[in-house]
Structure 1
Amino acid sequence: MNLENSLIDQLELALANPELSKRAELLRHVADLFVFGSSKFTDAQIDLFDEVMSTLLKHIECTARAAFGSRLSRLPDAPRRTIRMLAFDDAPEVAAPVLEHSPRLDEASLAENARTKSQDHLLAIAGRIRLTEPVTDVLVERGNNAVAVRTASNGGASFSAQGMSGLIRRARDNGALAMCIWARPDIPRETLLKLFVHASEMVRRKLESADPRQAALVRSAIAEGSDELQSMARAGSSEHARALAEVRSLHTDGQLDEARVLGFVGARSFDKTAVALSLMTDLPIGAIERALVRSEPEQILILAKAIGLSWDTTKALLTFQPGLAQEPKERSKERLEECFASFLRLKPSTAKAALQFFRLRERAGRDPVH
């Protein structure tokens, strides 16, 4: 009761005083009381602090609000209404510490803030220890590049299918964002490879357009970067390690055949499919991975024909490519018919000659199966 009477009396005195400095001084005093006794107050006492703090916040300058918010930002029992006022303050320097650290902000409040406030507010939210899917959905959709990069690099962030799709789409013309996505362990490698292949092609086109004389060097740099990143992704993938051991064993025992490949595709095992084709074609794993995820089907048709795969298996392999999955059903059907016609026209001898060319081109040995 003494605490309540003291706070109320001081509040009345402060609000009666027109000087903002007096009110800011009282707010600092109230903050001292709360921080010192944090975790010891009853719900009723926290509600009283909430009333006093939220009232004073309306009457003090930005610098004082920012200092006050920073002090309360990490307290697990900070008054909820006061925390919300700070989080929704138009001044980023006031809102940012609370948005980034306060455990008193729920998912709905964070999503609402991300939908309505400035990019600086979104950037602060993106740095929270944990981010749920409804919040990252808004950050990816509405945030600028800095927000997207910070969200993608946040190991405590979860993404819905919609959010991840938006992140991948944005990364195709944003190298920094693409690298953040590559570093995440929760992104399927098949998705990562599609991202990097498209990003690489985009970067290559821009660089070649800027300086056509350097086109060959540009292509070489992009290829080396792709190989290096693919190798890093495989090295950190337990799924790839298991697939490599299983498929190599089948190959050693003479049991790696078309039926196995079709089974791998049917199970949607990108790693097993890629390793199998690498062993059967004697091509580096990186070259196979890129062929599987590119939108152009020609290389898959050539490789399949060269090692004697049927059209049914070849058609199944094409389903890994993004074009067929993303196009309207009618257009996808037309594309498959065009691929089928090309596959029938392609002579095995021509395909084997092309495969030999691919081997020579990749023979530098920079991307072995590993």
Structure 2
Amino acid sequence: MAGAASLIPGLDEIVKHGDPERRAEAARRIADLFLQDAARLRPEHVDLFDGILIDLVPHTATSARAELAERLSPLANAPRTLIVQFARENEITVAAPVLRRSPVIDEEVLLDIARAKGQGHLLAMTERPTLSADLTDVIMDRGDRNVVRRAAGNAGALFSDNGYSELIRRAGQDGVLTLAVGKRADLSGARLKDLLAGSLDVVRRRLFDVVGPDRQAAIKLAMSGMTGVPELVEGKRDFIAAQRTILALHRAGELNESALLGFAKTHRYEESIAALAAMSGVKIATLDRLISGDRYDPILIVGKMIGLEWATVRALILLRLGKNRVPAPADIESARVNFARLMPSTAERVIGFWKTRQSA
């Protein structure tokens, strides 16, 4: 603390008569002293630095304030008055670093700034690790397209019911926002259905391509529920009842590997294929044609892609053969070895090819 005190006697003279370079140098020296011992400083010492800096920093050049804001922004015990002063500045190069990450700015200050400042301040806030529902309500009300897109893409952001409704409404006119909302982990089935209902078909297809298997299944089932028309599959088998069963399981949150294993073990072929289709995003007709062929490779590929255990894959291989056929132990062991060696990235590429062919 002696180092800081040695700068205090000349502080008034520097503030009143010093040029920007002298002020910036004094602020830098004091900030260096603070940063050297920040982890060990008691609250009263932080307050002392705070009092020194808030008298000096406003008189420094913008570039010096921006640099200091950047250096102090990650600290949990940064001088609070100075940080809030930075956050309220109109100059975005100064305000942005602390708005993005400073943990010392409380909720009320953030709300006040969000209600009063411009789009640059709102955009910086959307990068914070967490955003409360109250804050995103203001962001949704005042934010422009870029701000709302960034908020939707923040996994730590919470949205109220009204905020989510506004998010989905705005997504109806913004394909990029639709993709951001469609990838959110907190997107419920009902909200996904609303999102898809307001989106163009090309955006729906793009969303399907960029999300994971679970969300692909949800999209496929949501679209089926919207139209009320199950996928029509040409051939000898009737999959309509099976699709309704799978849709009901999905709505109940029970469409998982355990359900699929149960279908396979009880030789419920239609339900097994419909479940695989929902979980992988591959059409029923495509899977039925591939799995009912001469080889078990398609089962290994789709199983690897959606992360099935070997026990489930084995049950699907036995299902494919039928109740009255017993596979040779060597064939099952060969399938197990091939499944273990198959890389998920390879399986994803093959399934991507299947989807391209089925779209064509």
TM-score, normalised with respect to structure 2: 0.60
Taking a change above 3 Å as real, the CA distance of residues 105 and 29 of structure 1, as seen in their structure-2 partners, is: same
- Counterpart residue type for residue 181 of structure 2: I
CA distance in structure 1 between the aligned counterparts of 2:209 and 2:125, rounded to whole angstroms: 33
Are residue 93 (structure 1) and residue 93 (structure 2) matched?
Answer: yes
Q: Residue in 2 aligned with 1:226?
A: 204
Find the residue that maps to 2:167 and give its secondary structure. Answer: helix
Aligned-pair CA distance for 1:155:
1.2
Aligned-pair CA distance for 1:144:
0.5
Question: Any unmatched runs of 5+ in structure 2?
Answer: 222-236, 256-269, 279-355
Find the residue that maps to 1:190 and give its secondary structure. Answer: helix
Q: After the TM superposition, which residues 128-143 of structure 1 pair with which residues of structure 2 at under 5 Å, given as runs? A: 128-143=128-143
CA distance in structure 2 between the aligned counterparts of 1:270 and 1:175, rounded to whole angstroms: 28
Taking a change above 3 Å as real, the CA distance of residues 167 and 16 of structure 1, as seen in their structure-2 partners, is: same
CA distance in structure 2 between the aligned counterparts of 1:22 and 1:232, rounded to whole angstroms: 53
- Counterpart residue type for residue 236 of structure 1: D
Find the residue that maps to 2:40 and give its secondary structure. Answer: coil
Taking a change above 3 Å as real, the CA distance of residues 283 and 226 of structure 1, as seen in their structure-2 partners, is: farther
CA distance in structure 2 between the aligned counterparts of 1:99 and 1:228, rounded to whole angstroms: 33
Q: Residue in 2 aligned with 1:109?
A: 109
Aligned-pair CA distance for 1:64:
1.4
Q: Residue in 2 aligned with 1:123?
A: 123
CA distance in structure 2 between the aligned counterparts of 1:271 and 1:169, rounded to whole angstroms: 29
Q: Is 1:66–1:93's contact at 8 Å kept on the other side of the alignment?
A: yes
CA distance in structure 2 between the aligned counterparts of 1:92 and 1:231, rounded to whole angstroms: 37
CA distance in structure 2 between the aligned counterparts of 1:271 and 1:190, rounded to whole angstroms: 16
Q: Residue in 2 aligned with 1:8?
A: 8
Q: Residue in 1 aligned with 2:60?
A: 60
Aligned-pair CA distance for 1:190:
3.0
Are residue 45 (structure 1) and residue 45 (structure 2) matched?
Answer: yes
Aligned-pair CA distance for 1:239:
9.0
Are residue 236 (structure 1) and residue 214 (structure 2) matched?
Answer: yes
RMSD: 3.8
Question: Any unmatched runs of 5+ in structure 1?
Answer: 201-221, 244-251, 273-278, 287-363
Q: Is 2:208–2:216's contact at 8 Å kept on the other side of the alignment?
A: no
Q: Is 1:70–1:98's contact at 8 Å kept on the other side of the alignment?
A: yes
Aligned-pair CA distance for 1:227:
5.0
CA distance in structure 2 between the aligned counterparts of 1:18 and 1:10, rounded to whole angstroms: 10
- Counterpart residue type for residue 190 of structure 1: A
Q: After the TM superposition, which residues 195-344 of structure 1 pair with which residues of structure 2 at under 5 Å, given as runs? A: 195-200=195-200, 222=201, 226-227=204-205, 229-230=207-208, 235-237=213-215, 269=252
Q: Residue in 2 aligned with 1:333?
A: none
- Counterpart residue type for residue 155 of structure 2: G
Q: Is 1:127–1:154's contact at 8 Å kept on the other side of the alignment?
A: yes
- Counterpart residue type for residue 180 of structure 1: A
Q: Is 1:131–1:156's contact at 8 Å kept on the other side of the alignment?
A: yes
Aligned-pair CA distance for 1:121:
0.6
Taking a change above 3 Å as real, the CA distance of residues 264 and 58 of structure 1, as seen in their structure-2 partners, is: same
TM-score, normalised with respect to structure 1: 0.58
Q: Residue in 2 aligned with 1:153?
A: 153
- Counterpart residue type for residue 42 of structure 1: R
CA distance in structure 1 between the aligned counterparts of 2:110 and 2:253, rounded to whole angstroms: 37
CA distance in structure 1 between the aligned counterparts of 2:170 and 2:142, rounded to whole angstroms: 11
Find the residue that maps to 2:156 and give its secondary structure. Answer: coil
CA distance in structure 2 between the aligned counterparts of 1:105 and 1:176, rounded to whole angstroms: 30
Q: Is 2:4–2:33's contact at 8 Å kept on the other side of the alignment?
A: no
The ranges of structure 1 where at least 4 consecutive aligned residues each deviate by more than 6 angstroms after the TM superposition are 282-286
Percent identity of paired positions between Structure 1 and Structure 2: 33
